[in-house]
């Protein structure tokens, strides 16, 4: 395993990718509503990123066909956008990457349309909070197991949910996926030691029911085996000695959620 330490110049380039990415997801969320569909949102993200001088990281990555991963309800991640219309009560995980000036940014956010079931809303809240808890442990000298333990302990011991184990966070930089892997479960003190100025994506994927998942017939979309909803939140972060710096931002995204009357507020 070779964890890449980023120079200040590289960090600024990643930050720029993350800024465009955060703005792109905010634009997508402004347009999210019942009656629209994944292909419409994907087109919006694709065009916005290109207008900003970037490229969608996911499009063409190992053959993935779109700019956005759109995973609905029981879909965990890697959902391919389709023309299926969103409806009241759906939750939708939006995962996107931006490649600019030779560097990637990566992030995800889950939204809910209209009358989402209370237990599913709580799953979304807990998943988001687990991300922020995990980030607290993304400091130099800590290990990936410290991050995974914080996320898993909060989701599984303090709340009745299950963290997906087959999919993990990762390093980010010139490649979309770099070392180290950052699982959303683990034990304190286990895993790779995080050096100062490495950049990682932390991305809890949490199921309302059991943790087991499967790959759907499109060979991309990952779903929960028991059909229960799943939520996904992700930030790209810079590892620092005392407190990690979050390079992506939920600020514009959450403003878009608040101002979109079709979306539930979490």
Cis peptide, bond prior to residue 218, ω within 30 of zero = no
Q: What are the distances in angstroms from CA 121 to CA 35, 63, 126, 219?
A: 21, 33, 9, 28
Residue 1's pLDDT is what?
72
Number of Cβ atoms within 10 Å of the Cβ of 159: 17
d(CA 112, CA 131): 18
Give the residue extent of every domain in the chain. Answer: 8-259
Residue segments in the chain with a per-residue pLDDT below the cut of 70: none
CB 220 within 8 A of CB 167: no
Instruction: Note if the pTM is more than 0.85.
Output: yes
Tell me the DSSP string of 176-211: SSEEEEE-SS--TT-SPBPPTT-EEEE--EEESS-S
pLDDT value, residue 189: 96
Give the Cα separation of 240 and 237 in Å (integer): 9
Q: How many other C-beta atoms lie within 10 A of the C-beta of residue 180?
A: 21
Does residue 61 sit in helix, strand or coil? helix
Pick the CATH number of 8-259 from 3.50.50.60, 3.90.230.10, 3.30.2310.20, 3.40.50.10540: 3.90.230.10
In Å, how far are 38, 125, 126, 231 from 185, measured between CA atoms?
30, 18, 15, 16
At 156, list the tokens: 């599984």
Query: Is there a contact between 230 and 75 (Cβ–Cβ < 8 Å)?
Result: yes
Of 18, 205, 13, give the one whose Cα is nearest residue 97. Answer: 18
- CA atoms within a 13 Å half-sphere pointing along the CA-CB vector of 185: 13
d(CA 186, CA 169): 13
Residue reference for tokens 């939006």: 94
Q: Three-state SS for 250?
A: coil
């Amino acid at each position: 395993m070779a964890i890449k330490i980023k120079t200040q110049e590289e960090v600024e380039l990643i930050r720029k990718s993350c800024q465009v990415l955060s703005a792109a997801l905010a634009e997508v969320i402004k347009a999210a509503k019942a009656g629209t569909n994944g292909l419409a949102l994907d087109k919006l993200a694709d065009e916005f990123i290109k207008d900003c001088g970037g490229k969608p990281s996911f499009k063409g990555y190992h053959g993935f066909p779109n700019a956005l991963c759109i995973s609905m309800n029981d879909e965990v991640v890697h959902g391919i956008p389709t023309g299926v219309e969103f409806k009241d009560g759906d939750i939708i995980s939006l995962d996107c990457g931006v490649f600019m000036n030779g560097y990637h940014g990566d992030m995800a956010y889950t939204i809910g349309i209209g009358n989402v079931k209370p237990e599913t809303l709580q799953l979304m809240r807990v998943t988001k909070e687990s991300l922020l808890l995990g980030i607290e442990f993304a400091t130099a000298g800590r290990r990936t197991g410290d991050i995974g333990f914080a996320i898993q302990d909060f989701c599984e011991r303090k709340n009745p949910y299950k963290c997906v184990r087959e999919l993990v966070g990762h390093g980010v930089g010139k490649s979309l996926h770099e070392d180290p892997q950052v699982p959303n479960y683990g034990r304190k003190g286990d895993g790779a030691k995080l050096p100062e100025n490495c950049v990682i994506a932390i991305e809890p994927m949490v199921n309302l029911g059991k943790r087991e998942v499967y790959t759907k017939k499109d060979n991309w979309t990952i779903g929960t085996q028991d059909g229960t909803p799943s939520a996904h939140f992700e930030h790209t972060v810079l590892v620092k000695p005392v407190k990690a710096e979050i390079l992506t931002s939920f600020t514009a995204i959450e403003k878009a959620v608040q101002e979109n009357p079709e979306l539930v507020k979490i």
